[in-house]
């Protein structure tokens, strides 16, 4: 296994910058998820690391080698594709053997390694089948087997679970995670599903528009999103973002809404909003940090219920507040009906404040 370093990585197609100055380090044995909406450059980044797409500028280091101009075959990587890319004319056995044959290993060693990989992935009975005779989950497993049979320096995975049905996806998610723990493998994993990234990765790199937005552990990204994009992209349901304005009332700093109400701030939060470049500030709050009251309590803000979504464990309530939709989770025993008047109380400790102009998180120094 090896570490991977991307330094000022750029990929342009004509005038379009698909990957923009991306720099990050994947430590040896780390599971890193590249996550972002479609077209954010995450798959392009992975293809650059794989060598399937030539880079425009920057450096890629795998192990201790700069691999910028190396062929994919010389980079000592393995890749799992979204559509599995199994060789349809070859049996499962030959699919697994192919990377070893290309490296000219002796026949008996190939046989040993293929059978070992098949045993680990519990598909010894499938070795003679052709890919088209396998279910989606089995195909996925063969693709994984073809990657691990070779013991590469880095595993690259391009949305490997997105073609599976929901139940199988959850199952394979834990299998890949287990696989990472057992092999201490360095894995770069591309996904558009933030839940996969949060649940599986040691670190996640959130990308948007070709730029790396934030690169940190899932817990850090979740607790301290650097900007409004990361805040709204990570977490489900999404963080509620309410545009407000800074003003002073009774000598203190408050946030006022166009709807007329205002929200007092804790001293720490006052410190944060003084950093804002203009008067515009966006308040961010996750569903679990907002309290729902049936009647007015001090510090709470009136809102109107839009929809109610019971999920069994919790009920998600969506409410209109200052032109934005706010997600609140409540215990299932609290009955709320659409169009009902409710009062929302924000947790000063766990609320996020963003600059309304730059969309960056405001931090107390």
Partner 1 sequence: MSTIAETASRGQTRRRMRLDGWRWAGRIFLLFMLLYTALPMIWMLITSIKSGFAATQFPPQWWPDEPTLASYQKLLDPQNSVGQDFLRFFWNSLFVSTVTTILSVIVAVPAAYAFSRFTFPGRNFLFFAVLLRNMFPAVIFLVPLFILMRAIGLVNTHGSLVLTYLTFGLPLAIWLLKGFYDNIPVQLEQAARIDGATRFQAFIMIVMPLSTPGIIATAIYSFIGAWNEYIYAYTFLSKNEQLTLPVGIQRFFSENTTDFPGLMAASFMMSVPVVVLFLVLQRYFVRALTEGAVKH
Q: What residues line the site for partner 1 (CB under 8 A)?
A: 50-52, 71-73, 75, 77-79, 81-89, 98-99, 102-103, 130-134, 136, 139, 146, 150, 163
Kindly tell me which of 96 and 221 has the beta carbon lying closer to partner 1. Answer: 96
Write the DSSP symbol of residue 201. -
DSSP 227: B
Q: What's the order of all strands across the beta sheet hosting 57-62? A: 16-26, 4-13, 57-62, 65-66
Q: Shortest gap between Cβ of 113 and partner 1 (angstroms)?
A: 13
**What φ, ψ does residue 29 adopt, rounded to 5°?**
80, 10
- Cα distance between the two ends of the chain: 39
Between the alpha carbon of residue 198 and those of residues 19, 120, 187, 220, the distances in Å are: 23, 26, 14, 11
Residue 69 tokens read as: 């101009």
For partner 1, which is the closer residue by CB, 29 or 137? Answer: 137
- We find the least distance from the C-beta atom of residue 162 to partner 1, in angstroms, to be 10
Q: Judged by CB, which is closer to partner 1: 128, or 133?
A: 133
What's the closest the beta carbon of residue 110 comes to partner 1, in angstroms? 12
Gap between the Cα atoms of 263 and 253, Å rounded: 9
Nearer to partner 1, 105 or 238 (CB): 105
Q: State which residue, 11 or 150, has the beta carbon closest to partner 1.
A: 150
* Positive or negative torsion for Cα 126, 131, 133, 137: positive
Least Cβ distance, residue 42 to partner 1 (angstroms): 16
Q: How far is the CB of 56 from partner 1 (least distance, A)?
A: 16
What's the closest the beta carbon of residue 153 comes to partner 1, in angstroms?
Answer: 12
Q: Toward partner 1, which CB reaches closer, 85 or 308?
A: 85
Q: Where are the alpha helices (DSSP H) in 130-209?
A: 136-148, 166-183, 194-200
Q: Would you give the DSSP letter of residue 238?
A: P
């Amino acid at each position: 296994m090896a570490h991977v370093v991307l330094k000022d990585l750029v990929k342009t197609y004509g005038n379009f910058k698909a990957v923009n100055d991306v720099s990050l380090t994947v430590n040896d044995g780390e599971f890193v998820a590249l996550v972002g909406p479609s077209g954010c450059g995450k798959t392009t980044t992975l293809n650059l690391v794989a060598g399937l797409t030539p880079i425009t500028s920057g450096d890629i280091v795998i192990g201790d080698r700069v691999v910028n101009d190396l062929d994919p075959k010389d980079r000592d990587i393995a890749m799992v594709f979204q559509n599995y890319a199994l060789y349809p004319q070859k049996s499962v056995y030959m699919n697994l053997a192919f990377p070893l044959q290309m490296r000219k290993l002796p026949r008996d060693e190939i046989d040993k390694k293929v059978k070992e990989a098949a045993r680990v992935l519990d598909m010894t009975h499938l070795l003679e089948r052709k890919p088209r005779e396998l279910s989606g989950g089995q195909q996925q497993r063969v693709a994984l087997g073809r990657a691990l049979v070779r013991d590469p320096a880095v595993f690259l995975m391009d949305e490997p679970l997105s073609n599976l049905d929901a139940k199988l996806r959850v199952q394979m998610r834990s299998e890949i995670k287990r696989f990472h723990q057992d092999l201490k493998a360095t894995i770069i994993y591309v996904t558009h599903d933030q839940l996969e990234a949060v649940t599986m990765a040691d670190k996640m790199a959130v990308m948007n528009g070709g730029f790396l937005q934030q690169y940190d552990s899932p817990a850090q990204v979740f607790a301290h999103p650097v900007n409004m994009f990361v805040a709204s992209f990570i977490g489900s349901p999404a963080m509620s973002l309410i545009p407000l304005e800074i003003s002073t009332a009774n000598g203190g700093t408050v946030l006022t809404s166009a709807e007329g109400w205002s929200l007092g701030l804790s001293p720490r939060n006052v410190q944060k909003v003084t950093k804002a470049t203009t008067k515009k500030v966006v308040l961010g709050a996750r569903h679990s940090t907002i309290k729902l009251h049936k009647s007015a309590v001090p510090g709470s803000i009136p809102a109107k219920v839009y929809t109610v979504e019971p999920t069994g464990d919790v009920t998600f309530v969506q409410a209109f507040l200052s032109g934005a939709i706010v997600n609140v989770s409540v215990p299932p025993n609290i009955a709320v009906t659409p169009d009902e008047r409710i009062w929302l109380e924000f947790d000063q400790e766990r609320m996020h404040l963003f600059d309304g102009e730059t969309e960056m998180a405001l931090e107390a120094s």
